[in-house]
Structure 1
Amino acid sequence: MNRDNVVRVGVLVWLTLVYTALWGDLSVGNLLGGLAIGALIMVALPLPRIPVTGRLNPLSLVELLVVSTYYALESSFQVAWFAVRPALPPVSGVLRVNLSTRSDLVLVLCTDLLNLIPGTMVLEIDRPRCVVYVHVLDVGSDAAVDKFYRTTRRLERLLIDAFERPVRKSFRR
């Protein structure tokens, strides 16, 4: 089985699981219905092919999952605190983030992770310059802005480590 077929089967399984989860009932009928709807979606609405030239590093992927979960939880508590604290709402703003990834896949995953963190929302992606504009809930202090940039850099580094091939360095003699 070649890589394209493995990807197709994976997408079909994913669509079936989503369909079954949306119905909230694990039954043979829902599984068959999910398979049928998933196959119909894949035929009627095919996704463009994205060249994936990277590799998967499982250790970096596990670290990425742990770190991104931590950031999401930490940010959720921060948003909850902003909602109940007896003070003015935080100062929000749009920050520009220059990313250093070479991969469209990593760029998309990075913006998805940023969107999953409460209090942030990616507003625009400039692919040619690899720049992302992000609305951030709290930019009221230099420390808050620095923390956002550190978080973004760490997530990007983990994504690159998990999904991109290392750059080969050539040595001249």
Structure 2
Amino acid sequence: MSADERAADAPTEPRGRVGRWRDRLIALGWLVLVWNLLWGDVSWGNLVGGALVAGAVLLFFPLPPVTFGGRVRPRALLVFLLRFAGELVTASANVARIAVRPGYRPRGAIIAVRMRVRTDLNLALTAEVVSLVPGTLVVEVDRDAGVIYVHVLDVRGPSDLADSRDRMHAIERRLVRASGSAAEVRLVETATVEKGT
């Protein structure tokens, strides 16, 4: 394991008391917002009820802390969003073409893709983005090994499987460029260069 891989997989320093309380307040706010959205009405009763339910959830079902050692890069985030929108349009058109094609039976496959950055946040973000693209669906995530298992629609041969893996690595690379740490960015860039050689 290289130094960049160790740095990318290593947890960040534990947060101080102020940081933990801030995270809890943010989670409380989001839960109250979701509570009010579920009821479809923002009222004093829903705000108080949401605060009570959110407080109970955070007290009895505490979530593990999510560490974020990276930084958001606006330019790379814009590139990610534009490419993601393009992939959504292309994949939607492809799935629509398959759906209206008479007599065509697409073959699916489940592939395992090992992620280069194995942090919980990167695995979760990559899995979410892949699941949002029509024609792909995350079946399982092996957190320890850093492997995402994905069902891919319309596989005609081994080249389609390789293309699907390359697309997932490209999504991971764009996500890490947009929000990863310097070590994580170096890791995905180095892995890309090594693959090309």
The TM-score, its normalising length taken from structure 1, stands at 0.80
> Alignment partner for residue 38 of structure 2, among 16, 22, 26?
22
3-state secondary structure, aligned to 1:3 = helix
Please give the residue correspondences for 1:63-78 in structure 2 after superposition, counting only pairs within 5 Å: 63-78=79-94
CA separation of 1:27/1:62 partners in 2, compared to 1, >3 Å: closer, same or farther? Answer: farther
Q: When the two structures are aligned, how many residues end up with a matched partner?
A: 169
Deviation at 1:102, TM superposition (A): 4.0
Contact (CA 8 Å) 1:93, 1:139: kept in 2 or not?
A: yes
Query: Is 1:137 the equivalent of 2:153?
Result: yes
Gaps of 5+ in 2: 1-16, 187-197
3-state secondary structure, aligned to 1:94 = strand
Q: Distance in 1 between matches of 2:78 and 2:26?
A: 20
The TM-score, its normalising length taken from structure 2, stands at 0.72
Contact (CA 8 Å) 1:106, 1:163: kept in 2 or not?
A: no
CA separation of 1:142/1:22 partners in 2, compared to 1, >3 Å: closer, same or farther? Answer: same
1:9-39, Cα deviation, whole Å (9 max, x unpaired): 2212221222222222233333333222222
3-state secondary structure, aligned to 1:167 = helix
Gaps of 5+ in 1: none
Deviation at 1:143, TM superposition (A): 5.8
Q: Distance in 2 between matches of 1:42 and 1:61?
A: 31
1:28-52, Cα deviation, whole Å (9 max, x unpaired): 3333332222222111211122333
Question: What is the identity percentage for the equivalent residue pairs of Structure 1 and Structure 2?
Answer: 34
Please give the residue correspondences for 1:65-144 in structure 2 after superposition, counting only pairs within 5 Å: 65-141=81-157, 144=160
- Residue in structure 2 matched with residue 54 of structure 1 by the alignment: 70
3-state secondary structure, aligned to 2:182 = coil
Q: Distance in 2 between matches of 1:109 and 1:77?
A: 24
Contact (CA 8 Å) 1:54, 1:165: kept in 2 or not?
A: yes
Contact (CA 8 Å) 1:103, 1:164: kept in 2 or not?
A: no
Structure 2: which amino acid aligns with 1:53? G
Q: Distance in 1 between matches of 2:132 and 2:173?
A: 17
3-state secondary structure, aligned to 1:121 = strand
C-alpha root-mean-square deviation of aligned residues, in Å?
A: 2.6
Deviation at 1:93, TM superposition (A): 0.5
Deviation at 1:105, TM superposition (A): 0.9
Structure 1: which amino acid aligns with 2:125? L
